[in-house]
A and B are shown apart, each in its own frame.
Chain A
Amino acid sequence: MELYELTVHVLQDKLRAGETTSAEITASVFGRIDAVEKNVRAYITLMRESALAEAARADEKIKKGEIGALTGIPLALKDIYCTKGVRTTCGSRILHNFIPPYDATVVEKLRAAGAVFTGKTNMDEFAMGSSTETSFFGVTRNPWDLERIPGGSSGGSAAAVAAGECIAAFGSDTGGSIRQPAALCGVVGMKPTYGRVSRYGLIAFASSLDQIGPFTKDVEDAAILMNVIAGYDPRESTSVPEPVPDYREFLGRGIEGWTVGIPKEYFIAGIDPEVEAAVRRAITVVEQAGARCIEVSLPHTEYCLAVYYVIAPAEASSNLARYDGVKYGFRSEENRDLLDMYKKTRSAGFGAEVKRRIMIGTYALSSGYYDAYYKKASQVRALIKRDFDRVFTDCDALLTPTAPTPAFKVGEKTDDPMQMYLSDIFTISTNLAGIPGISVPCGFTSGGLPIGLQFLAGHFQEGRLLQIASAYEKHANIEKRRPSL
């Protein structure tokens, strides 16, 4: 096996045992990038030189016995995290030349843990999309089938992990943007509880929904990365001062005696039959692992999409007001006056999907419509959260499909925004309620496309989520395949 194919925990063991070096691992990853990136196009910016220097420093430290939580491990970052001195575009023309003067808190934490950064990955513009097709920097391809999309918005990070172009990666999840691409690319993707991980330096999309999380090759790696990034940050006032457990301790504990809820509203018409069959098989596996599965109801599920497409664009229209061509980023040429500059800059700087959402959000917040849209959606959101609060009094976790279909073809849904929005139908409710969720691989379609299974748990129950995900991973024994690139 090549080094780039291995997990964080296996590489850590090898580094500790002196069987390999960070320089070798990093060279293996960049060798893989040289071989497949022209087809996958997972990255917007590669950080080869600084990565090799970080790897050399990591090897010095390892020699001295100073091994941190991630020393010498090559990781990729979605291009939505501010990285000091490294261009950060958010997939948009309007930030095509933006070089942040500071690191996001998560980036700082990863640096302090000794990580090596391979580069910044492609994404839907401002994280608005489910296919990574709205990026100003081109479309990322699904490593399992290059004619298909990798999911989105964090499609570059998911594809990079699946293709072996990094050991693990980070993304952000506002309505499923970690879990859906993880499912479509056959990797593990986790969205923590809102407030569990600091959003400082994460370019904002919808501030009451955005959350940071990892993409990994297995559940143990997700626990390792969560240990590094979770926790309160005084610079981020919505991060929560709850104690952070050692997430690795939850792995291997098993789920004997657990009650797992199967929400009946998540098995709807329109779900791909092969996806449904794989998820039904997963229910049997969870039962074999000692849990009791019961049908539960989340009656407001059918309203999640409508609530999300009021609240997320409303928050986005406010967050994206800052892109005006004044302080950073793109500015249009030949402006008559300030107003003309704002309009020309924003109209040329944003792509169609971002403009569409700014328009929906501005409309929903405008005078005369606020009560009918934003206030109403916020009330229904409260009912959606109540649904979850109620089922978690009986259930330790919930089990659902992650996405209704496997990866679709490039261009298949770009002309129909409503069809595209439906691919997040099983992931959106999690963000509205603020609870954590994880997607783990649960098999393949007959055509060889990965299928994802989602577990959900109550607020701050990441440990229990990792516990059930690792129990499933162990009992399901999903065939280890690699994309043939």
Chain B
Amino acid sequence: MEKIKITKDEVAYVAHLARLSFGEEEMGRFTSQLNDILLYMEKLSEVDTTGVEPMTHAIAQKNAFRSDTVDSSLPSEISLANAPAARGNCFEVPKVIE
């Protein structure tokens, strides 16, 4: 029998965290594909990483500071130009609170 790394319920939970939703058939396909991918990743447990510092970036750079000076920025009408819906100086969204 194939090993189960992730169940349909877990996929549904992760989908919610990622703000995605799937239909029944799509959910089945994703669960099986994610399971295959996660099984492949089990390979990583073969490697002894005791005491190895995790690497986050390829080029070691310390804090990239710059001086705190005001520079040009986009005017709000340009910032809003791509908005699916806007009113006044704001992005418009469906209601958040009942």
Contacts and interface: CB of A to CB of B under 8 A. Distances in A.
Interface residues of B, number: 49
A194 B19 contact: no
B4 interface: no
Given A101-B79, A359-B30, A366-B14, A383 B49 contact: yes
A414 B53 CA distance: 36
B56 A338 contact: no
A356 interface: yes
A359 B44 contact: no
Interface string A86-109: 000000000001110110000000
Contacts of B83: 326-328
Interface in A390-424: 417-418
Interface stretch (A161-169, A172-180, A306-314): A306-314
A329 B20 contact: no
B6 A373 contact: no
A317 B18 contact: yes
Interface string B54-98: 111111010010100000001000110111110000010111100
Nearest to B79: A101
Contacts of B59: 193-195, 238, 240, 434, 459
A34 interface: no
B58 A338 contact: no
B1 interface: no
Contacts of B21: 343-344, 347
A111 B47 CA distance: 47
Contacts of A360: 34, 37-38
A302 B43 contact: yes
Given A101-B74, A346-B19, A337 B94 contact: yes
Contacts of A99: 81-82
- A interface, size bucket: 35 or more
Nearest to A344: B21
A98 B82 contact: yes
20 contacts: A97-B82, A193-B59, A208-B58, A234-B66, A306-B44, A307-B44, A327-B83, A328-B83, A337-B96, A338-B93, A356-B33, A356-B37, A358-B20, A376-B49, A377-B41, A379-B52, A380-B47, A380-B49, A434-B58, A459-B58
Given A329-B82, A337-B94, 17 more contacts: A101-B78, A305-B40, A306-B43, A310-B44, A330-B84, A338-B94, A340-B94, A356-B37, A359-B18, A360-B38, A366-B17, A373-B41, A375-B54, A378-B54, A379-B49, A435-B58, A459-B59
Interface of A: 97-99, 101-102, 193-195, 208, 234, 237-238, 240, 300, 302-303, 305-307, 309-310, 317, 321, 324-331, 335-344, 346-347, 350, 355-356, 358-360, 362-363, 366, 373, 375-383, 385, 417-418, 432-435, 459
Interface of B: 6, 10-11, 14-15, 17-22, 30, 33-34, 36-38, 40-41, 43-47, 49, 52-59, 61, 64, 66, 74, 78-79, 81-85, 91, 93-96
